[in-house]
Amino acid sequence: MYHIVRNRAIYFLISLAVILPGLGFMVYNTVTLSSHTPWHLSVDFRQGSIFDIKFNETVTEDAIRNVFEQFGLSNPSISKLGADSDNLWQVRTDFLQGDKTQALLDALNKQVGALDQKQSSVSSVSAKVASEVTRAAILAVIAATVAILLFIWYTFRKAPNAIRYSVCAIVAMIHDVLVAGGLTAIFSTLFKWEIDALFLTAMLTVIGFSVQDTIVVYDRIRENLVRHRGEPFEDVVSRSLIETLHRSLTISLTNIFVMTALLLFGGASIKQFVAVLLIGLVSGTYSSIFNAVPLVVAWEERDLLGLRALRSRAMPAK
Amino acid sequence: MRERNLITLVIIIVIALFSALIVAPIQKPPFIESLVFWQDPRGRDLQIKQGLDLKGGLQVLLSADVKPGSSIVSGTLESARAIIENRVNGTGISEASVQLQGSDRILVELPGVTDRQLAIDLIKRTGQLEFVDGGPTPPATGTMISTTYGIDQRLLYPQTAAVGKPILTSTQTLTSAGKIYDTAFTGEILQNNSRADSQTGQIVVLFSIKPAAQQYFKEYTSKKIGQPLCIVLDSQVLSCPVIQAVLTEGGQISGNFTAAEARNLAITLNYGSLPIPLKIETVRDVGATLGADSVRRSIIAGVIGLSVLLLFMLLYYRLPGLLSGLSLLFFAVTTLAVYVLLPVTLTLPGIAGFLLSIATAVDANILIFERFKEELRGGRTLRGAVEAGFQRAWPSIRDSNLSTLITCVILFMFGNTFGASAVKGFAFTLILGILVSLFSAMVVTRTFMRLVFSQPSETIEKNKALLGV
């Protein structure tokens, strides 16, 4: 039997190796960005420009997107106004200086289609997601975390030291948030990813899945503690992990199938959202097996990395 | 036992067929439309309502109606925006967006609304407060009345209408008795410091009058002492307190209300009417903010992803995988039918909630099948393994879903309170999805499995490959 729990130092290191660089980028962005946030914010969170543009011919959304991206305006929100035959479009982007605006309209005229300059206009627009909304979401997550802590404590009350399961599940959840948030920060810096209102949703989904997955793995431990009474705690836990491994892999695979399909074939406007979701869901499965459960054992043995046990095995008792 | 399972199967098939009928993009028989009596008849088309991000809706551009050259006091446009947002959210349109555009415009987007008049009505309803002469027999609280101001903006004291023209006044004539009440003042005369108070033991709402309007208010109250003065918001009577003394600087409204009602009335007095006049500049259809092409491609991608998932379940779990495929189809159709019936306005956050509930439904099936296989390997009979599989999987399914439900309820409450509609939409579809997924795993999959594996079947016993063991 392969001992995931005994080798926990390796798995904790893997987690750290993923989280620390991400955390570094989050701190770096917070210090250097003018918005003082861990990520580049999209126009959803900031003041931006709103383009009402009318063409004299039929054009495609992708062609318009292409021009905006040439001007460094990644992830513009493009929608059609009026009937199809109107050829009227509305684009929301980052705030754009006046002189660049005309250049952009000219580029649209040249590259996309003849523009009706008279009926096209540009103006500024306030943030779509007010800061109160973000604050409300964060407060909600904190409140939900406390509720989950109490819930796991209650439902595992028959296992000894149920509070440890709660705390470790929350640690695993924070792990997943940091993995998804940290990798997003890295992409945000390297590839100019901007987080939009959907990022908030992706994070909520990751949090929900993380706890759900951890509880499924815990459930096996709870069951085996009764079935295999008398066995050392670490052995019961290892057995439980092995028994749920099949299910963990399968659920992770099914998630990956759906998300990869969306990533490969889905529309441009949701790719980032799906990528964050994919990272978060895979991390959610990983953290249940390799963080949450080993942490419970580490707490029981009062030995975070399992090094003491390793040493005693290396030097058998005289 | 087998009989009970057959009855359950029939019920499942009936639910599935009914759901399919509701979800199918066809003209629905009229009896179904009358079934959903709780929906607004104007929008009762029994289609899945899609939000701004997926489908678009109506976009209404409002601009400040001030004289050219006069400046807008900073902050007033923002408070007008907040009032409109509250009103729109209050009407049950979910996922609406209200933004400031430029220095003097407000951009309102109403998802799923196709009726222009309905949209204009909605925004027109954004808070015209009037003080109306109740006459000898005042109208009952809550009734809609016609007022001189509502019809042609006539006031008994036109001098008090200080700031330009009235704002988006209601033009409907909603009178039942045909009586037209005289409007004495608009909410314009109030200072924005009304508050509920219960010092004297009785719950009252205190208000004060702007200095410029005080002489007219004094004149009116001295003339009409002992008569009711009705407070009317958007043609609806809020209360009709009797004038008990000559009032100049302000007064109190006493009535038969609770502390909460008094507080609401005070808020309405303060914020009910828009701080600056607005006019409707344009009303137009707006396409999906995520881009129609993007949405179309993503839907196809989603279908591909789910097909791969079903194929995987079939290959990996064989016969049970096939059964779970059927049960997942049941889950999808029923959940969508619930969205139509309630109705739920579907947005991308909502779809994320739906996706997570699919993952939950798949997970429940996987948990059951893994247990089922374990029990089979442990030497149980097929029938025994089915029962034991469900029994053993249940605690983990129950607890993991309960934890998600708790999270969702909290997210929903917060989203509701703070107007974070994305959070609310996500939580709501996830709650619905989890409830349906529990049913589909614990009832639908179980019934299928029981029926297929109930008899000791030699073919299945011999072909272990069918079970993926």
- Cβ contacts (< 8 Å) between A255 and chain B: which residues? 359
CB atoms A270 and B298 under 8 Å: yes
pLDDT tens-digit series, residues B258-287: 776 676 666 666 656 566 777 788 888 887
Strand partners, B63: B105, B279
Q: Chain B closest CA to A73's CA: distance in Å?
A: 16
CB atoms B292 and A137 under 8 Å: no
Does B290 contact chain A (CB < 8 Å)?
yes
Q: Chain B closest CA to A67's CA: distance in Å?
A: 15
In this structure, are B311 and B254 located in the same domain?
Answer: no
Full-model pTM:
0.72
In this structure, are A156 and A236 located in the same domain?
Answer: yes
Cβ contacts of A153-161, under 8 Å, gap ≥ 24: A155/A215, A155/B399, A155/B402, A156/A218, A156/A222, A158/A222, A158/A226, A159/A221, A159/A222, A159/A225, A161/A299, A161/A300
The Cα–Cα gap between B259 and B349 comes to: 37
pLDDT tens-digit series, residues B3-31: 888 999 999 999 999 999 888 877 777 77
Pick the residue from chain A with its C-alpha nearest to B399. A215
Last residue of a domain, one of B218, B244, B273: B273
What CATH number does residue B191 fall under?
Answer: 3.30.1360.200
Residue A251 belongs to a domain: yes
What CATH number does residue A144 fall under?
Answer: 1.20.1640.10
Does B2 contact chain A (CB < 8 Å)?
no
Residue A42, helix vs strand vs coil: coil
Last residue of a domain, one of B286, B308, B341: B286
What is the band of A74 on the pLDDT scale with cuts at 50, 70, 90? confident
pLDDT the model gives residue B81: 81
Q: What ipTM was predicted for this assembly?
A: 0.80
The Cα–Cα gap between B238 and B256 comes to: 12
Contact A140, B423 (CB under 8 A): yes
Residue to test with chain A: of B293, B372, B392, most A Cβ within 10 A = B293
- Cβ contacts (< 8 Å) between A211 and chain B: which residues? 400, 403-404, 407
Strand partners, B254: B204
The share of chain A scoring above pLDDT 70, in percent, equals 95
Q: Chain B closest CA to A33's CA: distance in Å?
A: 25
Q: Chain B closest CA to A317's CA: distance in Å?
A: 38
**Contacts with A, B 149-208, CB within 8 Å:** none
For residue A292, is pLDDT > 90?
A: yes
Give the nearest partner residue to A155 out of B288, B295, B399, using CB atoms.
Answer: B399
Pick the residue from chain A with its C-alpha nearest to B108. A128
Nearest-CA neighbor of B82 among B64, B100, B66, B95?
A: B100
In this structure, are B174 and B187 located in the same domain?
Answer: yes
Q: Which stretch of A129-133, A273-277, B318-322, B356-360 has the lowest confidence by average pLDDT?
A: A129-133
CB atoms A147 and B367 under 8 Å: no
The Cα–Cα gap between A7 and B318 comes to: 35
Pick the residue from chain A with its C-alpha nearest to B351. A201
Give the nearest partner residue to A204 out of B101, B402, B423, using CB atoms.
Answer: B423
The share of chain B scoring above pLDDT 70, in percent, equals 80
Give the β-pairing of B180-181 and B146-147: parallel
How many of the other CB atoms lie within 10 Å of CB of B360? 26
pLDDT the model gives residue B457: 61
Compute the radius of gyration of chain B from its Cα atoms.
Answer: 30
Give the nearest partner residue to A137 out of B101, B305, B423, using CB atoms.
Answer: B423
Q: Chain B closest CA to A312's CA: distance in Å?
A: 35
Joined together, the tokens standing for residue A61 give 């959304």
Contact A51, A67 (CB under 8 A): no
Nearest-CA neighbor of A204 among A136, A152, A258?
A: A136
Place of tokens 């979701």: A277
Residue A3 belongs to a domain: no
Pick the residue from chain B with its C-alpha nearest to A156. B399
pLDDT the model gives residue A258: 86
Q: What is the 3-state secondary structure (H, E, C) of chain B?
A: CHHHHHHHHHHHHHHHHHHHHHHCCCCCCHHHHHHCCCCCHHHCCCCCEECCCCCCEEEEEEEECCCCCCCCCCCHHHHHHHHHHHHHHHCCCCCCEEEEECCCEEEEEEECCCCHHHHHHHHHCCCCEEEEECCCCCCCCCCECEEHHHHHCCCCCHHHCCCCCCCCCCCCCCCCCCCEECEEEEHHHECCCCEEECCCCCCEEEEEECHHHHHHHHHHHHHCCCCEEEEEECCEEEECCECCCCCCCEEEEECCCCHHHHHHHHHHHHHCCCCCCEEEEEEEEECCCCCHHHHHHHHHHHHHHHHHHHHHHHHHHHHHHHHHHHHHHHHHHHHHHHHHHCCCEECHHHHHHHHHHHHHHHHHHHHHHHHHHHHHHCCCCHHHHHHHHHHHHHHHHHHHHHHHHHHHHHHHHHHHHHCCHHHHHHHHHHHHHHHHHHHHHHHHHHHHHHHHHCCCCHHHHHCHHHHCC
Residue A1 belongs to a domain: no
Residue A2 belongs to a domain: no
Nearest-CA neighbor of A286 among A22, A15, A21?
A: A15
In this structure, are A112 and A160 located in the same domain?
Answer: no
For residue A7, is pLDDT > 80?
A: yes
The Cα–Cα gap between B335 and A165 comes to: 33
Instruction: Please give the helix or strand (H or E) that residue A177 lies within, else none.
Output: helix A162-190
Strands of B183-186's sheet, edge to edge? B183-186, B129-133, B229-233, B236-239
Q: Which residues touch B416 (CB under 8 Å, ≥6 apart)?
A: B424
In this structure, are B303 and B364 located in the same domain?
Answer: yes
CB atoms B105 and A123 under 8 Å: yes
CB atoms A77 and B289 under 8 Å: yes
Does B291 contact chain A (CB < 8 Å)?
yes
The Cα–Cα gap between B66 and B328 comes to: 58
Give the nearest partner residue to A140 out of B102, B309, B414, using CB atoms.
Answer: B414
Residue to test with chain A: of B304, B328, B377, most A Cβ within 10 A = B304
Nearest-CA neighbor of B398 among B375, B421, B433, B364?
A: B364
Last residue of a domain, one of A125, A150, A170: A125
CB atoms A208 and B356 under 8 Å: yes
What CATH number does residue B448 fall under?
Answer: 1.20.1640.10
Cα-flanking dihedrals φ and ψ of residue A142, to 5°?
Answer: -65, -45
In this structure, are B32 and B164 located in the same domain?
Answer: no
Residue to test with chain B: of A201, A240, A263, most B Cβ within 10 A = A201
Contact B401, A212 (CB under 8 A): yes
Residue A259 belongs to a domain: yes
pLDDT the model gives residue B1: 66
Contact A140, A207 (CB under 8 A): no
What is the band of A318 on the pLDDT scale with cuts at 50, 70, 90? very low
Joined together, the tokens standing for residue A283 give 């991390």
Give the nearest partner residue to A140 out of B366, B415, B419, using CB atoms.
Answer: B415
In this structure, are B305 and B422 located in the same domain?
Answer: yes
Task: Name the residue range of residue B249's domain.
Answer: 129-273
In this structure, are B259 and B300 located in the same domain?
Answer: no
Cα-flanking dihedrals φ and ψ of residue A131, to 5°?
Answer: -65, -25
Pick the residue from chain B with its C-alpha nearest to A262. B301
In this structure, are A138 and A29 located in the same domain?
Answer: yes
pLDDT tens-digit series, residues B81-98: 877 776 666 555 666 778
In this structure, are B303 and B324 located in the same domain?
Answer: yes
In this structure, are B397 and B313 located in the same domain?
Answer: yes
Integer angstrom CA distances of residue B170 from A318, B86, B128, B205, B235? 94, 18, 8, 26, 8
- Cβ contacts (< 8 Å) between A53 and chain B: which residues? none
CB atoms A151 and B402 under 8 Å: yes
CB atoms B287 and A80 under 8 Å: yes
In this structure, are A168 and A24 located in the same domain?
Answer: yes
In this structure, are A141 and A22 located in the same domain?
Answer: yes
The Cα–Cα gap between A238 and A245 comes to: 10
The Cα–Cα gap between A184 and A178 comes to: 9
In this structure, are B454 and B314 located in the same domain?
Answer: yes
Residue A142 belongs to a domain: yes
pLDDT tens-digit series, residues B27-68: 777 777 777 777 655 556 677 778 778 877 888 888 887 766
pLDDT tens-digit series, residues A162-178: 999 999 999 999 999 99
Give the nearest partner residue to A79 out of B56, B353, B422, using CB atoms.
Answer: B56
Last residue of a domain, one of B286, B313, B348: B286
In this structure, are B264 and B178 located in the same domain?
Answer: yes
CB atoms A257 and B102 under 8 Å: no
Number of domains into which chain A is organized: 2
- Cβ contacts (< 8 Å) between B284 and chain A: which residues? 81-82, 88
Higher pLDDT, B413 or A21: A21
- Cβ contacts (< 8 Å) between B304 and chain A: which residues? 261, 265
Residue A154 belongs to a domain: yes
CB atoms A136 and B411 under 8 Å: no
Joined together, the tokens standing for residue A17 give 């190796």
Q: Chain B closest CA to A229's CA: distance in Å?
A: 18
CB pairs under 8 A between A and B: 237
Angle B340-B345-B351 from CA coordinates, rounded to 5°: 95
CB atoms B400 and A219 under 8 Å: yes
Q: What is the 3-state secondary structure (H, E, C) of A217-275?
A: HHHHHHHHHHHCCCCCHHHHHHHHHHHHHHHHHHHHHHHHHHHHHHHHHCCHHHHHHHH
Does B283 contact chain A (CB < 8 Å)?
no
Pick the residue from chain A with its C-alpha nearest to B56. A79
Residues of chain B with pLDDT under 50: 126, 163-176
Task: Name the residue range of residue A21's domain.
Answer: 8-36+129-314
Q: Which stretch of A67-76, A257-266, B269-278, B392-401 has the lowest confidence by average pLDDT?
A: B269-278
In this structure, are B200 and B306 located in the same domain?
Answer: no
Nearest-CA neighbor of B158 among B211, B229, B213, B208?
A: B213
What CATH number does residue A51 fall under?
Answer: 3.30.70.120
Q: Chain B closest CA to A307's CA: distance in Å?
A: 32
In this structure, are A209 and A94 located in the same domain?
Answer: no
CB atoms A247 and B414 under 8 Å: no
- Cβ contacts (< 8 Å) between B407 and chain A: which residues? 144, 147-148, 207-208, 211
Number of domains into which chain B is organized: 3
In this structure, are B311 and B458 located in the same domain?
Answer: yes
Cα dihedral sign for B319, B321, B326, B331? Answer: positive
The Cα–Cα gap between B469 and A210 comes to: 29
The Cα–Cα gap between B251 and B243 comes to: 10
The Cα–Cα gap between B179 and B194 comes to: 30
